[in-house]
Chain A
Amino acid sequence: MSSIRSRLLTILIVSTGLVWLLAVAWIYVSTQAEVERVLDARLTEAARMVNSLLAERRIELALADDDFPATEFQIEDPSYERQLSCQIWSLDGRLVGRSEHAPDSRLTEAGSGFSESVIEGETWRVYAIDNPALGVRVMVGDSMAVRDRLVGDVVKGLAIPAALILPFLAAVIWVSVRRGMSPLNHMAESLSSRAATDLRPLPDENLPEEIAPAVHALNGLFRRVEDVREREKSFTAVAAHELKTPLAGLKTQAQVALASKDGEVQENALRQIAAGVDRTSRLVRQLLDLAAIEASDRTPEILDARPLEIIRRVAADMPSAEQRINIEGDDDGTARFDPVLLTLAVRNLLENALCHSQGPVLVGTREAIGGIEITVEDEGPGIPSDELPRATDRFFRGRAKSPSGSGLGLAIAKEAAARMGGTLALKNLKPHGLAATLSIPAAG
């Protein structure tokens, strides 16, 4: 599992370490340059000083005699003592004087100015100055090892505390990251401790702005899931109600038929039971239709088919009303659609029209731009305009409800149309009647 915390920790610690290393490298380089500059200036100064001492004759040189050993002198400043070595050579190549710890061999073969040379395995930085008046060359040098040690000491002085601080810094980063991530942990904890049915929104006050979008998105999801669940719950409740009422009617009528000794009462009760069973079985079928439309695992099966053929087949299933159904349209017209969904939509529209009117019902198909249109027209009372928007809601039956209606027909037609990517439009006709138009786009 990738953890933001460990990633943040790694990034922060590695980058902090790198910044430290860079800083140390920079300090090393700049210290080295600075040390070089300061010590070079000191070399120059020391050489000039020796030169001026020579000129003032404060250092006596054995210039005349070849055998005379080179003068040993001390440079007055004790701080120069250990680090600096001075040699005075005659221009003809004899060592005529040197400081106490100066090496015996010539410091440099180069001319006046700065040079570097290796003597007895040690690198020296040498500044030479000619004194033509005395015929000597003054060479002042210091060991590079000393310089390197100096730079090394400076860098070490910085790097050791840094190295000691680094673990401490890592600990601080670790704690900070932990603290920084605590809103996330908090959210995760409050989510993981929830029951599956708990869809209350997460508290969204005082949220860090990085987490707020995630929390808001989650709360939005909760809301949508809750809505779906509420809809399902109310659907189940209403479906139960719609089924229980006819069941209560059936049972009551059955008990009346059993209890009554009056043949007429018994006959009426039995007739009611027969009609009630028809109505209830239609309701059950419609509930199953809705379930079929909703079933998400069923992918629409698109076929080349003749819409008119489907309408005819649906009409043929209603023998008692077949005379009332007039079908218009092009028999050879084909379109691509899901025949199951179209059958459901057409059957429910037809049943609805037959149930709410006494007269003829006209079913027409025609090709429309990008699809087909199927219109079912009846001569019934239509739907009051204030009820039109709700007419396709499940179980909505309106004020002028018919005894055999379930409030599901238009809802099924609309939902089947929606599954096919189409729409259902309802329009009241003049002087009376309802036109229900299914617009189904041609499937690809």
Chain B
Amino acid sequence: MRILVVEDDPMLLDGLSAGLGLAGFTVDAVATCEDAFAALQAHSYGTVVLDLMLPDGSGLEVLAFLRKRKDATPVVLLTARDQVGDRIAGLDAGADDYVGKPFDLDELAARVRAAARRGAGQASAVLDWHGVVLDPARQTVSVKGKPVPLTRREFGVLRALMERPGATVSKASLEETLYGWQEEVESNAVEVHIHNLRTKLGTGLIKTVRGLGYRLAEESA
């Protein structure tokens, strides 16, 4: 899942990029409101992790920008101003969660996952499709109880498909989910991941919708 992290402290921003990347997210990192606006206009994100005190304004402005254009992207606020009043103001402004600094990286990752899950309307923390079970927190996949090792990218593709079961997900959308700004995307990367997934999980799981993209098959083969 691709997420946007807005934080002006370079050390923390670097740590969040690395840490949330390890947790399975594709992280776009920006340090100012202005860059955040630009990123939000260019891409859609599974979740936005937003610091409140930014050099060119408040994170609440970014939040207001999102909500004003009826964008329901989950937002996790990240700030040192964690008085009750600040939390209430942040949540009432449309944030989905609030994490006070300093925080635990694993907890933040869990909260981002939870926010994304709620944003996608899922009740369960694990995704299940006809015996294929994907656990975003542990980054594990099992088929009929047997664990199947996947690479980070393969996991990302499967997750994107399982988050919208039955829906067709375009190749471009998958690329965007998998790769951050700085990453080069090879033209056939998604096809390669899909091929590998079919090899590991069974050829019938993922269907190609010609000209549109991919979707999960109704029945797992």
What are the residues of chain A within 8 A of B55 when measuring CB–CB?
397-399, 401
Contact B102–A272 (Cβ < 8 Å) = no
Complex contacts, B103 vs chain A, CB 8 Å: 248, 251-252
A-facing residues in B9-60 (Cβ within 8 Å): 9-12, 14-16, 18-19, 22, 53, 55-56
| Contact flag A252-B15 (CB < 8 Å), given A244-B102, A399-B56 | yes
With a cutoff of 8 Å between Cβ atoms, the chain B residues found around residue A275 in the complex are 11
The A/B interface has a contact count, at CB < 8 Å, of 86
Contact: B106 with A255, CB < 8 Å?
yes
> Within 8 Å CB of A252, what residues of B?
12, 15-16, 19, 102-103, 105
- Which of chain B's residues has its CB closest to A265's CB? B18
Residues of chain B within 8 A (CB-CB) of A241 are 53, 79-81
Nearest-CB distance from B182 to chain A (Å)? Answer: 14
In Å, the complex CA distance between A269 and B16 comes to 11
Secondary structure at the A interface, as helix, strand, loop or mixed, is helix
A246 at the interface (CB under 8 A from B): yes
Inter-chain contacts of A195 with B (CB < 8 A):
none
B101 at the interface (CB under 8 A from A): yes
Using C-beta atoms within 8 Å of the partner chain, give the interface range for chain B.
20 to 34
Per-residue A-contact encoding for B68-80, CB less than 8 Å = 1, 0 else: 0000000000011
Please tell me if the beta carbons of B14 and A272 are within 8 angstroms of each other in the complex: yes
- Which residues of A are found within 8 Å of B219, using beta-carbon distances? none
B104 at the interface (CB under 8 A from A): yes
Is A245's CB under 8 angstroms from B12's CB? yes
Whole-angstrom distance from the CB of B139 to the nearest CB of chain A? Answer: 12
Q: B105 — nearest CB in chain A belongs to which residue?
A: A255
Total A residues in contact with B, Cβ cutoff 8 Å: 31
Could you tell me the distance between the alpha carbons of A269 and B79 in the complex, rounded to whole angstroms? 21
Question: Which chain A positions have C-beta within 8 A of B81?
Answer: 237, 241
Binary contact readout A395-417 vs B (1 if CB under 8 angstroms, 0 otherwise): 00111010100000000000000
Roughly how many angstroms separate A244 CA and B103 CA in the complex, as a whole number?
9
Min CB distance, A390 to chain B, in Å? 13
Contacts A244-B80, A255-B105 given; indicate if A260 touches B18 (C-beta within 8 A).
Answer: yes
Once the chains are docked, how many angstroms separate the CA of A246 from the CA of B14?
Answer: 12
Q: How far is the CB of B137 from chain A (nearest CB, A)?
A: 14
Residues of A at the B interface (CB closer than 8 Å) are: 237, 240-253, 255-256, 259-260, 265, 268-269, 272, 275-276, 279, 397-399, 401, 403
Q: Give me the interface of B with A, judged by CB distance under 8 Å.
A: 8-12, 14-16, 18-19, 22, 53, 55-56, 79-81, 83, 100-106
